[in-house]
Structure 1
Amino acid sequence: MARRRVPPARSGDDRDVRRAILTATKDLLDERRFDELSVADVLQAAGVARGSFYFYFEGKHDVLAELIREAVGVTSEMADPWLEHPPGADPEPGVRAGIEGGATFWAEHAALLRAVVENWHSDPRLRALWLELMGSYTAITEARIRADQERGLTPSSVDPHDLAATLTWLGERLYYLAALDVEPFGDRKRLADVLTHVWMSALYSRPAT
């Protein structure tokens, strides 16, 4: 009867292997596209063995997914100024703050976010992750829109979910173009100005000031 292989207890060095893989992949993505990156490239950059890589990850898409999860963990509070603005307060500063926060986040993680946007449609794991993330942004936006509709601040002539999804995916696309430095979106202030104008016009029937 074959004996079952029991992995040895992981030492501090073993625990560092996973971080080395993540760091190496992130650094490599600053230099090349994700579809040009191989597991062998990661192994060489991280200085780890192939068996160690596959102990932690099934493939490079799993590494990218983990990097995205780590990165987006800091985005949950960016929309708070708008989501939590009190009744009667001008929503524009909160809208702009959230948009500027999103633009800054994309600029700081451009290589990672470009990689997932360009590859989620072809990998089931990345697709599930990205749709889950975008769905969560849509859900919190929808909740605020519904609250503003109930207060009479936002027109009720459009479905709040559809409007929230449209604004969320519009932002994703423009932030992506900004990450590619496509004009005029490469100018972060112009990007924030136009997105704030779109949000204010769509939600409150008035342009940004």
Structure 2
Amino acid sequence: MRDGYLQRILNARVYDVALETPLEKAATLSARMENTLLLKREDMQPVFSFKLRGAYNKMSALSVKALKRGVIAASAGNHAQGVALSAQRLGCRALIVMPVTTPRIKVDAVTARGAEVVLFGESYDEAYGEARALGRRRRLTFVHPYDDPDVIAGQGTIGLEILRQHPGPIDAIFVAVGGGGLIAGIAAYVKRVRPSVRIIGVQPV
């Protein structure tokens, strides 16, 4: 399956909307750690997050019929904006279910891109359940934030860029882990192309 993901990543259509972000030296951190640390600047994406890559790659692979019906997602922020911008570019309707506790600024950022927002539940899990139910009733395609091959492949383009931007030796790539889609995509590419590079997941304690 790793070869399958490699091909998915190589063929990903993320650059219709996402940017190839710079890989920049973190001078202060490098000095503190007495090593060379590089940062992948995904905060420079149009929605300030890597989530755009996976959302667009998934949605751009949908059939014309599916796009015409529309898409639905559950999110408290970054994935919602990625889906909203992708829908805007692809000319399809997007419905985003967000917890009622979502800050107004995040809701406004999603509606500003043309998506419809439904506020439901006190937590992401409750919003997720409602999005699944609404999607079934309205026959909308659910865009999962991480557990989807096309989403994972979209995120995997970050790994492709890192190796292209830094062809020299790399000891390890540290990846923030939430749902796991980002690290899965990066690992699928990097471990296939340069298996000596360690992929290390990082979570808050």
TM-score (norm 1): 0.30
- Between Structure 1 and Structure 2, the one with more strand by share is 2
Give the number of the structure with larger relative contact order, counting CA–CA contacts within 8 Å between residues 6 or more apart.
2
TM-score (norm 2): 0.30
